[in-house]
Structure 1
Amino acid sequence: MTQLFDAAIAAFSPGLPLAVALSGGADSTALLVACARRWPGQVRALHVHHGLQAAADGFVRHCEQLCAGLRVPLQVAHVDARHAQGESPEDAARRARYKAFEDLAQASQSLSAIKNIALAQHADDQAETLLLALSRGAGVAGLAAMPARWQQGGITFHRPLLAVAGADIRAWLQAQGVGWTEDPSNQDERYTRNRIRHRLLPMLEQVFPQFRDTFARSSRHAAQAAQLLQELAEEDLTAVGVPPALAALRGLSAARQANVLRHWLRQHHATTPTAAQLQALLVQIAACTTRGHRIDLKVGGGFVRREGALLHWYNFRLS
């Protein structure tokens, strides 16, 4: 249904000038073509060469040819997206990609400020993200999946195609007579996301034909819940203090203690506790009824220690 794609583009209203993250695949190719037609002279393309596969040079050539035909300026960034030991390859590539987008936008300041970047993730990507979050036992923040709009590094990122299925995007491109490249790694089922895409989504399509819409609705509910928890955590952190006071924490329910402690660790120490670590800390706080009770627990990338009436967090590397 190419109408869904057309409706998504018609509803998209970013600030201009706009940059489109262009991989060369069908999704980003369609997004760039549609945006360039809607806002001629106001769109440029950003391509990240990850250096991870031999086909990467071919992606660049496709992007160059496409942009030349559209008369859209193209900026290419070469990054080292190799992952460290124990790190997810997808996460490493994602971080390198977003850092490159920010750098490319900054580099274009002398021409015209890029403050808005459009990404081509679609409804299938959103469903895959939700299923991955469920498989990991994520909380509401993870179940919120990918936001349609957010800010990072002074840039507003947009995902205007989250309500459009991948097949609809390809149908639109075929109707326009525009070609695209296929990333060979998308067929590699060593990656969990690819196994979900090729095995699980087709089964969901058969059993629950509307799963993209219902999954998206659940993610929106989770995003609202996550926002409420964030606001509550900010209020509670103001009340318990930084660093948190044990007596004030004990005055909260266990759920609110967990919520505010997670917020404190993330916002003030850039670390996230595991569910087991957070539960162990809550048990210790509940048992901390005497001045002599010690708390010294591994939490996130460091440890939480009781010092008098307060809880402190210390980084392993700096302690």
Structure 2
Amino acid sequence: MTQSFEAAVQSFAPALPLAVGLSGGADSTALLLACARRWPGQVQAIHVHHGLQGAADGFEQHCILLCQELNVPLVVRRLDARHAPGQSPEDAARQARYQAFEAVVLANQSQFAIQSIAIAQHADDQVETLLLALSRGAGVAGLAAMPTHWVRAGLAWHRPLLRVTGADVRRWLQAQGQAWVEDPTNTDERFTRNRIRAQLLPVLDAAFPSFRDTFARSASNAAQAAELLQELAQQDLSMVGIPPQLCLLQSLSRARQANVLRHWLRMIHQTTPSAAQLNELLDQITACTTRGHHIHIKVGRSFVVRSGPKLDWYSR
């Protein structure tokens, strides 16, 4: 169920000291303000200057002034978050931001031994993420959307506002008399996420007022299914071997073959096959009944090939 901003912060119990990702927008400004009041002297802010738009200098200045006012230490990390060919700008910025957070924490461990990092995404962000995943034909891992907490690089990461609406965050911030900055790209409907926010969420709100709760349940169910598939993939990969033995792969159902091959490619070779690539690979595995059968399928920037009794990975 959705909850109030105050209830979400009150139930948030991270290991301290805590770092808060601070963009300067309403959501992160509210989260930092609430955390700094609750745990004075135990909170640090991290601001990432992506270098992607002219307004970024204004975001940084807001963060500096806010942290001075709150007496919260601030670390600013400047980076180039431009996306690679074939990568979405949003994903490139997100990955660069996470890497910057980790680098700041590691570099400042002797001064401020951060145990947890909090990010201010809220219930509307979760709905947008789920709808984006649906629009791209994602599987259960994509439909799981954003977790409330997870571990990365030895740090505990939290999204304490995932059950709070964006409107409630802003109402709370306005009641505190606290200003924030608006990212001008948030209203640019050339971006799919912004079209969802501007055009779909109001319609959903009118037709299904409880959609945030029901969508959150669906994401939670998908997350549980994704966890089970991950466990099965790990078991199957230990059985078929690394690299996978063709005869052992062929003993599995097509669905389990797909699951373990996705896992092998993602975990060992850091790539994800498209649906077409994976289906072609599965067809070739089924057809591979003679010694002379050839497999050479492009996946990402490299190839899955047959090497004797096994599949192998060939990187150009």
TM-score (norm 2): 0.97
Matched with 2:140 is 140
Residue correspondence of structure 1 range 27-38 to structure 2 within 5 A? 27-38=27-38
In 1: Cα distance, 2:201 partner to 2:90 partner: 20
Q: Residue 151 of structure 2: SS of its match in structure 1?
A: strand
Return the offset for 1:3. Answer: 6.2
How big is the shift at 1:228? 0.1
Equivalent residue letter for 2:287: A
Aligned to 1:150: 150
Deviations 1:183-214 (A, max 9, x none): 11111111111111111111111111111111
Q: Tell me which residue corresponds to 2:20.
A: 20
2:247 aligns to what?
247
Match for residue 209 of structure 1?
A: 209
Give 1:64's aligned residue. Answer: 64
How far apart in 1 are the matches of 2:209 and 2:115? 37
Give the Cα separation in 1 of the matches to 2:282 and 2:87: 29
Is contact 2:3–2:164 with CA below 8 Å preserved after alignment? no
- The residue number in structure 2 matching 1:90 is 90
The offset of 1:106, in angstroms, is 1.5
Report the secondary structure of 1:109's partner residue. coil
Q: What is the distance in 2 between the residues matched to 1:284 and 1:51?
A: 45
Distance 1:227 1:38 in 2: 34
Q: Which runs of 5+ in 1 are unaligned?
A: none
Aligned to 2:193: 193
In structure 2, the residue matched to 1:81 is: 81
Partner SS, residue 109 of structure 2? helix
CA positional deviation for 1:83? 2.4
Distance 1:215-1:3 versus aligned 2 partners, 3 A rule? closer
**What letter corresponds to residue 263 of structure 1 in structure 2?**
H
Amino acid of the structure 2 residue aligned with 1:128: E
Q: Equivalent residue for 1:304?
A: 304
TM superposition shift of 1:285: 0.9
User: Residue 44 of structure 1 corresponds to which residue in structure 2?
Assistant: 44
Contact 2:119 2:158 in 1 (8 A): yes
Cα distance, 1:250–1:86 mapped onto 2, change above 3 Å:
closer
Number of the residue aligned with 2:224: 224
- Secondary structure of the corresponding residue to residue 4 of structure 2: helix
Identity %, equivalent residues: 69
Deviation for aligned residue 1:19: 0.4
Instruction: State the Cα RMSD in Å.
Output: 1.3
What is the match of residue 112 of structure 1?
Answer: 112
Q: How many residues align?
A: 315
